[in-house]
Amino acid sequence: MRLSMETLNLGLSYGIREALRMMKEAGFDAADLTLDKINPDDDLLHRPDMREFAQSLKEYAAEIGIGFAQAHAPFKVVYGDAFDTSCPAYDDIVRALELCGILGIPQVVVHAIKTPREDITVDYKEYNRRYYLSLLPYCEKFGIKIAVENLFWKDKHTHIDVYGYYPFANPESIDDYQFEVQKDQSKASEDGEMGGYEASDFLWGKVGDVAPTTNVIRLPLSHRMSNARVTLIQGSGFAEGEWANTEKIVLAPNLVRKASINLANGEVKPAGSVESTATIPSRVGDEWRTIVVPQTLKPSTTLFSITIGGVPYKFAKNEALTYVAGKMMNFGIKVDKKAASGQYKLTLVSESITPWENDLVSHDATAKEYVIVNSTAGHLKDAITAANKDYTKVRNLKITGNINAKDFYFMRDSMSRLSALNLKEVRIKGWGMNEEYEENMDDQIPNSAFYFIQTVGGSNSLNRIVLPGAIFLAFIALIPTLVQLIFDLPASVAMLFGGTSLIIVVGVVLETIKQIESQMLVRNYKGFLND
């Protein structure tokens, strides 16, 4: 990461060379070259020796040890009745691209054209589309990428839809963007290039019907691919240290890796045929993750090729498997070693479909994703261990099921790296007296959950907690009071509608629905077969 600063104010006051020197002296590694407002003595774009000056400026920057991160092009293009490239302002944009190409600046911010008058009836979207397309040949010629900033409103009244996607590309078609997940997703990031896993993870988001505003528009992005996650769990029969030294390979064959994406609605469809080669997952410990184009595999199709100690195995299902967009398909497989033969027995011990959750602060292939565990009250440690996770290394944890005060104390005292905790789908059960000799109640976070005053200690890493809908729960708690006031009922009658009772009823209903759904899932596996 480089520390960068724009040249705007320093450049206007002292000139571009002195601005670069002062920025370097202040500890900055790179400059954001502002070409919209320039010191008249520099006039980078209009001096007759622009190319020679740019080359000398590049050499000077290299001499003092400062680079150029990006540049801002002039913002002077006039919005007229028709798009026209003959105006002097357009020529300034082209010269700016050439200048940045000489300086080795990788990307240039080119502002969209806004409407100066409300009586202009030109379609500003089509106008800007033609504008940017006209600049592409110059970008290719000078080796420049264009970044778009501040997409201005057509007027003070017209609403817009805002779209975003990642990774960036230059699609020829909005409704049929051709995308391909990487074959080798184990390839790590290198020299600023995305790794195979990250480059395969297509993100998309939309905010519709946005009124003109000066506020920041938050554009949440979501995963549009599916994710197959295989976790190999050590079983019986292994000597001490043998499991860690045993060769383990997981591959995902029989997949379509090409996709057709509609950028207008984020819909992803498989395109092309099944690849003859298997996809290589990203591996972290004994967990393999494969980003998959949403698709359905036919019954008896090999889903995973697994090699243990040089012995190959195949995993298939008798029924079709659908990879769902935005979901993680989780498979926990226990490996036992037979003492007599030395062969291995693979047993599917868990299978689930969970949300593909990750920290929105950063797009990180592994570190930012939630570890999702289902717990029973008082046994969170066991649940994390059963999921083949090292609780001392877990940073982001989502819990489903039930927990109690004992589990909170475990997180506080033993999970030293826990920074994000999602309690949205968990039920908190009462558990005796807490460490401050107060009774723990159902649906209540203990007072000493994350900080124990008697020892002046607790969790120092936790900075984010996701709770259930607090407003809804508060409303539930106020129902007895509201019933009493509205219907003028005695307090004893109103308490029959007590918040705790309603929460219990709602909780029981939701749990019953989950149990019914789990019973309806068909888990008829063909199993694991030796090659």
- Tens digit of pLDDT for each residue in 435-469? 555 666 787 888 778 776 555 456 667 877 877 65
pLDDT at 363: 43
pLDDT tens, residue by residue, 406-421:
899 899 889 988 888 8
What does residue 16 show for φ and ψ, rounded to 5 degrees? -70, -40
The tokens describing 435, both together, are: 């460490």
Q: Say whether pTM exceeds 0.75.
A: no
Tell me the pLDDT tens digit for each residue of 68-89: 999 999 876 655 656 677 777 7
In whole angstroms, give the CA distance from residue 113 to residue 110: 9
Name which of 2-16, 185-199, 218-232, 261-275 the model is least confident about.
185-199
E strands, 377-463, in order: 396-403, 420-428, 451-452, 457-458
**452 CB neighbour count, 10 Å cutoff:** 18
CA–CA separation, 356 and 326 (whole Å): 6
Cβ atoms < 10 Å from Cβ of 457: 11
Q: Which is more confident, 241 or 78?
A: 241
Q: What is the pLDDT of residues 320-366, one digit of tens each?
A: 999 999 999 999 999 999 877 778 999 998 888 888 755 333 344 34
Percent of the chain at pLDDT above 70?
78
CATH of 371-468, one of 3.40.1790.10, 3.80.10.10, 2.40.50.140, 1.10.3720.10: 3.80.10.10
Q: Which tops the pLDDT comparison, 170 or 474?
A: 170
Domain ranges of the chain: 4-158, 371-468, 471-520
* CATH 3.30.420.40, applies to 4-158: no
pLDDT at 528 over 50: no
Q: Is the pLDDT of residue 471 over 60?
A: no
Between residues 365 and 13, which one has the greater pLDDT? 13
CA terminus-to-terminus distance, the chain: 48
- Of residues 489 and 259, which shows the higher confidence score? 259
Other CB atoms within 10 A of residue 177 CB: 19
DSSP 476-491: HHHHHHHHHHHHT--H
Q: How many CA atoms lie within 13 A of 350 on its CB side?
A: 19
Question: Cα separations (Å) of 298 from 276, 293, 302, 332?
Answer: 16, 15, 9, 21
List, in sequence order, every beta strand (DSSP E) within 167-200. Answer: 177-180
Q: Are residues 20 and 7 in contact, defined by beta-carbon separation less than 8 angstroms?
A: yes
Q: pLDDT confidence of 526, banded at 50, 70, 90?
A: very low
Strands 4-6 and 177-180: unpaired
Give me the pLDDT at residue 161, please. 87
> Residue 174 — pLDDT band, cuts 50, 70, 90?
confident
Q: What is the largest CA-CA distance in the chain?
A: 90
- The pLDDT-based confidence of 527 (bands split at 50, 70, 90) is very low
* Mean pLDDT, range 290-303, rounded to an integer: 96
